[in-house]
């Protein structure tokens, strides 16, 4: 029954771009390459094996003086090929490394997308950061956009010394994106254990549930797909990263996670909603 319900949920939840917007190939030296990325010694492409038996594409964008690494889980109906310019801008303005990946079934990643595959995906990416780049969790900022908030919080619940978490247009659960329900259905995905009471805004409710908070950014007039285009977005993110550099772990209570800032929109559009394709 579990496999059947997971399959039904996946059909309503995940919409990878068809066809993918990029290709992955190997050059004459056997190095994995990513179409659309010009020669850049500070960008590495990985094909990672997951516990779900799939191979996913991940790219590591290194900043020469970056202290932190942003582990970026993108939104629905997008793949890495569409986000190259964004990663270039974030790396430059925030002065951080960026590790981003395509979920199972997205872009050049194999397999079929599902809730549990996204969990396997982000775990494989985190393991790569540890093994390939010796990056400690204290120097990682998890970033989850829309559907990416699911795997982001999954990994956050298992790591106790993360630097911080950023939630961007986050969701309380899959079905609650479509309907303002208070109950949990068998076919729901990314359903949490503390979200029985749903506020009018998913992002605001998640921010309220956070044990440690940073001043949130509510973008007036922002939509689901365009928050990065507002000047206050980069300004707030830069301020946040600077604050995290000064943040001491000694000030934290043991076992508590930082979820800040929660970035959401004040007006929704249907660009990446569950159950509805982009128009």
Pick from 61-75, 99-113, 253-267: least confident: 253-267
Closest among 31, 26, 29, 28 to 44, alpha carbons compared: 31
**Exposed/middle/buried for residue 40 (C-beta within 10 Å: 0-12, 13-18, 19+):** exposed
Instruction: Answer whether residue 146 shows pLDDT above 70.
Output: yes
pLDDT of the residue at 128: 98
The confidence band for 107, taking pLDDT boundaries of 50, 70 and 90, is very high
Looking at the domain covering 2-253, what would its CATH class be? alpha beta
* Active-site option among 146, 149, 201, 262: 146
pLDDT of the residue at 234: 85
Q: 195 an active-site residue?
A: yes
The confidence band for 225, taking pLDDT boundaries of 50, 70 and 90, is low
Q: 146 an active-site residue?
A: yes
**Angle at which helices 84-94 and 231-246 pack, to 10 degrees?**
50
pLDDT of the residue at 71: 98
Q: Find out whether 66 and 96 touch, Cβ atoms under 8 Å.
A: yes
**Residues composing the chain:** 279
* Active-site option among 195, 201, 236, 258: 195
Domain range list for the chain: 2-253
* C-alpha 204: how far from chain center: 18
Average pLDDT over residues 115-120: 95
CA of 246: how far to CAs of 69, 84, 216, 240, 243, in Å?
Answer: 16, 29, 18, 10, 5
Q: 236 an active-site residue?
A: no
pLDDT of the residue at 129: 98
Instruction: Write down the pTM of the prediction.
Output: 0.76
Q: Over the chain, what is the mean pLDDT?
A: 75
Measured CA angle at 157 (ends 155, 162), to 5 deg: 75
Give the whole-angstrom CA distance, residue 132 versus residue 141: 17
Tokens 């908030």 label which residue? 149
Q: Find out whether 137 and 66 touch, Cβ atoms under 8 Å.
A: no
Average pLDDT over residues 72-77: 91
* Active-site option among 46, 74, 202, 224: 224
| Of residues 162 and 190, more confidently modeled | 162
């Amino acid at each position: 029954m579990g496999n059947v319900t997971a399959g039904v949920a996946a059909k309503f939840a995940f919409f990878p771009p068809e066809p993918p917007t990029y290709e992955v190939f190997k050059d004459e030296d056997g190095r994995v390459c990513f179409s659309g990325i010009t020669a850049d010694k500070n960008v590495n492409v990985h094909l990672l094996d997951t516990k779900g038996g799939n191979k996913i594409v991940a790219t590591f964008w290194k900043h020469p003086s970056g202290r932190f690494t942003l582990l970026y889980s993108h939104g629905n109906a997008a793949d890495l090929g569409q986000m190259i310019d964004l990663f270039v801008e974030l790396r430059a303005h925030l002065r951080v490394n960026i590790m981003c990946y395509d979920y199972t079934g997205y872009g050049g990643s194999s397999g079929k997308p599902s809730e549990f595959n996204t969990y396997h995906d982000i775990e494989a990416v985190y393991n790569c950061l540890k093994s390939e780049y010796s990056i400690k969790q204290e120097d990682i900022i998890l970033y989850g956009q829309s559907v990416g908030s699911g795997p982001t919080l999954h990994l956050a619940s298992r790591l106790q010394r993360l630097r911080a978490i950023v939630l961007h247009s986050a969701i309380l659960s899959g079905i609650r994106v479509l309907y303002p329900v208070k109950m949990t259905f068998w076919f729901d995905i990314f359903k949490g254990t503390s979200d029985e009471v749903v506020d009018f805004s998913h992002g605001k409710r998640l921010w309220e549930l956070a044990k440690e908070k940073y001043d949130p950014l509510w973008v007036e007039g922002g939509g689901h797909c365009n928050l990065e285009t507002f000047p206050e977005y980069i300004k707030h993110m830069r301020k946040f990263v600077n604050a995290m550099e000064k943040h001491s772990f000694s000030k934290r209570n043991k076992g508590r996670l930082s979820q800040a800032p929660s970035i959401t929109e004040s007006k929704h559009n249907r660009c990446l909603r569950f159950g509805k394709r982009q128009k």
